[in-house]
Amino acid sequence: MSEPSSQTSVSFTRRAATALTQWIDSDHCPDGAEKMRNEPDKVDLVRVMPFVILHLACFAVIWVGWSSVAVWTAVALYFIRMFAVTGIHHRYFSHKTYSTSRFGQFFLALWAATTVQRGSLWWAYHHRHHHQHSDDPEDAHSPHVHGFLWSHIGWITSRRNFPTDYTKIKDLAKFPELVWLNRFDLVVPVLFAFATYGFGALLETYAPGLGTNGLQMLVWGFFISTTVLFHGTACINSMAHLMGKRRFKTDDDSRNSFILTIITLGEGWHNNHHRFQSCTRNGFYWWEIDPTYYGLKMLSWTGLIWGLKPVPQSILDEGMHADHHASVVAAVASRAASSGSHDYATLRRIVPVATAMAVATATASSANLPKKADGPAIRKNLSEEAHNMGPAKPAPSSTHGEVPPVA
């Protein structure tokens, strides 16, 4: 064997041994965490094998079958653990939007560890980094930078994203019990898997009429539920910067999506969250449902947590003004459409008027003043614009019938 081939073989063996060790000890980094974080984005097949096995094990449903109790257990564990992702990994460890005791913190970390999404410290480090670099080249899971598939699942398979930079989360790294859970992040998931098996075995023994058993409950309650949970969470990374509406102007492309809100118990109000990350609720207004916030509110009644941080009134006002502006522009566009005026020149004339109307209304609202002559005057101006536009001009041929953006 030639010397280069021998060196390649030794290098592969060493990397494989490191990856296998990291299955048990996530902080095992012989070359240093900093070197790993500077490596190019590429999949480490050995290190991610447990993740692959998690997905493949779902196909065992072909042999174990299903029962109502197994399916409903999987559904219940999905939502219980989705709450742990959103309410604990995210709103507590990543953003500290409420307070708890040291015991409460450890209990929450144990609960969150059952999600099989690494330790809470790893989760918090990467999420804080995401907010610092949202949708720029340093963002590990921006769909605009890396594409949909990588932002959804690829980024967690890369060696550079395995380590936890404890220097960036010093407020959490000072607790050795949290560091231990983060370091040995496979312990709780394995125990949880055994627990789901044991639950099924108990039901088989004491309630055979339910038609379940240990293996069936393991497949449904652990493997299927956990896999769906991962992809539900990952939808925020891959889709919440692509689909939905933008209420607030942020330096990224975060969006609000009701569909993602249902899947993730409130995380779909992503543009809200990127505008103000320090409040406990993501649904800023009463009509924006936020099940995670409701759950945290109920936990606060028990005394386990406290100090839930509200949305500042200034942020609420900003959002209301933005919504009003959007509704006015939509109304103007609708009126132009109903009058048959779809051309570029028409929209250039009426949109600034609509904008002025929205700004005047927002200013009056923010100052808590009644709308005086400005509002009617602008509405009168808008009405005159709509009725005196003259015949519509054909759109430029390059647009093929589409309205070009307003300059």
Same-domain status, 80 and 214: yes
47 shares its domain with 134 = yes
| Cα torsion through 219, 223, 229, 234, rounded to 10 | -140
- pLDDT, tens only, 105-128: 999 999 999 999 999 999 999 999
d(CA 92, CA 124): 9
| Residue 73: inside a domain | yes
The last residue of a domain, from among 306, 325, 343: 306
Domain of 259, in residue numbers:
3-306
Report pTM: 0.78
- 338 and 293, same structural domain? no
On whether both 81 and 46 belong to a single domain, the answer is: yes
Tell me if 319 sits within 8 A of 247, measured CB to CB: yes
Instruction: Give whole-number Cα distances, 400 to 342, 394, 403, 407, in Å.
Output: 13, 10, 9, 18
Give the range among 118-127, 355-364, 390-399 with minimum mean pLDDT.
390-399
Cβ atoms 213, 204 nearer than 8 A: yes
Same domain, 261 and 337: no
Structure tokens that stand for 63 in this block: 């042999």
**173 and 293 share one domain:** yes
Residue-wise pLDDT tens digits, 16-63: 666 667 667 777 665 666 666 677 777 888 778 888 999 999 999 999
pLDDT at 332: 55
The residue from 258, 277, 306 where one domain ends is 306
Return d(Cα 222, Cα 193) in angstroms, integer: 6
**97 and 242 fall within a common domain:** yes
Residue bearing the bigger pLDDT, 130 or 46:
130
406 inside domain: no
Question: Which tops the pLDDT comparison, 327 or 357?
Answer: 327
Whether 378 is in a domain gets the answer yes
Q: Residue 15's pLDDT is what?
A: 63
Q: What is the pLDDT of residues 265-299, one digit of tens each?
A: 999 999 999 999 999 999 999 999 999 999 999 99
Quick: pLDDT tens for 298-310: 999 999 999 999 9
As a whole number of angstroms, the distance between CA 221 and CA 218 comes to: 5
Residues 279 and 362 reside in one and the same domain: no
pLDDT band of residue 377 (cuts 50, 70, 90) is very low
| Per-residue CA distances from 291 to 85, 287, 307 (Å) | 13, 12, 18
Mean pLDDT over the full length of the chain: 81
Q: What is the pLDDT of residues 57-83, one digit of tens each?
A: 999 999 999 999 999 999 999 999 999
CA atoms within 13 A on the CB side of 317: 12
Co-location of 261 and 356 in the same domain: no
Residues 340 and 300 in one domain: no
For residue 407, being part of any structural domain is answered with: no
Residue 389: closest CA among 338, 325, 331, 330: 338
In a domain, 405, yes or no: no
Task: Report the alpha-carbon distance of residue 50 to residue 41 in Å, rounded.
Answer: 19
Number of domains in the chain: 2
For residues 196 and 159, membership in a common domain is answered with: yes
| In-domain check, residue 151 | yes
| 232 lies in the same domain as 351 | no
- With 50 as the cut, is the pLDDT of residue 381 above it? no
Residue 330 has pLDDT above 60, yes or no: no
- The position carrying tokens 């132009």 is 336
Query: Considering 306, 331, 354, which residue would you say is the last residue of a domain?
Result: 306
Q: Which residue has the tokens 């709509």?
A: 386
Domain-embedded: residue 204: yes
Three-class secondary structure of residue 304 per DSSP: coil
